[in-house]
Chain A
Amino acid sequence: MAGVKEYKCPSCGASLTFDSTLQKMKCAYCGTEVTVEAMEEYNQHLQHGESEEMSVNMEGGETQWTSDEQKNIRIFVCNSCGGELMTDATTAATSCPYCGNAVVLTERLSDSLRPDYVIPFKLSKENAKNAYRDHLKGKFLLPKAFSDENHIDEIKGVYVPYWVFDAKAEATGRYNATKTAVWDDSEYYYTRTSYYSVLRQGTMQFEKVPVDGSKKMPDDLMESLEPYSFTEARSFKTAYLAGYLADRYDVSAKESLVRANERIRDSAEDAIRATVRGYKTVTEAEGSVKFSDCSCHYALFPVWLLNTTWRGKRFTFAMNGQTGKMVGDLPPDTGKAVGLQLVLTAVFGLIAGLIMYFVF
């Protein structure tokens, strides 16, 4: 019986047969009726279910250091945490921005890739100190001791390595949607639910999606600093490194791709879904995202970094060196929190009790 298509009822999945009286497809099991044309087109909708993995032709990130540049680069190594820091020949680094221990100058030439881009520091150390102070202000449950202890001077300006991805994404979405209409007569309330199959496919362009390329920089901390505005990025020159330390990447572009994939996919699906309008309910039945025209570049983003230890725990604060956005989780004063909870429970409880007393 080759060539015979099977038509499944869109409501219950049973087989549809052609009803000659109605001149429509009808489901013997649930009674749903669908026109022949609609069923044909619906079958086409159902075929959009393939997805492909992202194939990346990695353009960029392949540039090598010129010999001149190599003369101007200094590499420092931290023996405690293994951090490798790069800076220009005029800058002397003394301590590791990650663990605070002393760093040592090595003779090793950078065997890593040369960055393609750098977003230069726009904000100074002074700006960073102020931002840190502001970050601590107005936080009711922050222990006072924390804001009293001052390590502010140890703020360091670091260039964090990023892989930035350009990609074209093609998103396909098939949705089940409904519209309803209500009316009534003297005897009944009526509701008519109309069921639709909605298909959308489209492409969009993503530019410079950043993924943190350093294992030592926590990914969530770095992502919290976003967005960086890439319009202010410049082609890399060693001069930008003067006075700052640049971390070397230790996550490969391929590994970073996974995270970029995830984020791009989510955005593409959202963008496509947003074009489905005018329905009462919409649920996704199938969706896929395909990538093409991918390229990635190696860039350095500016970050002001502060590490603090308080009561044996390590706290890291970071400020976006371009936009000034300051992030970093703060510890709670548990005693104060508990006290607040008890006092408020008593106050609210008293008010609630009085209300109950008068009501009952």
Chain B
Amino acid sequence: MLYQTYGPALVRKARRVLQDSDEARDVVQSLFVDLMQRNQLDVDLPYLYRAVTNRCLNAIRDRDNQRRLLEQQSPALRGVARSSCGERVVDLDLLTKLSDRLDARSLEIVVCLYVDDMTQDETAVLLGISRRAVVKRVRKIREVVAALVGDPVEVAR
């Protein structure tokens, strides 16, 4: 029942990150298989959202996966992009580049802010860290993105 209730929302989220429907469904299915095996069914959508983020980022970090994901990606599946890092929408291409340059926590923040369109406060709550910690990492993230895309660094989001 949890799978039927939250599955579609999680597939949509995974699809925005991986830009591939089959990959997204696989990620969500494997998450719930693991939850069932651990008998861990008292979870809510925020928890699951974060779990899907991490699974997607793990898939992106894997070199073999990266090549395959980039080859088969469908940019349209990125969906309505309502926020951006500087002037750049964060898509699969940028995420794969960032995966070599940012640590796991910073990548999570990138997905929260620029793919899931969360505020810094929401991101802090979801990740269980202070807003100040998010702000500090955002500065670094924006510098790295600017260096990758050649944009001037902006101070405010």
The answer to whether A and B interact is no
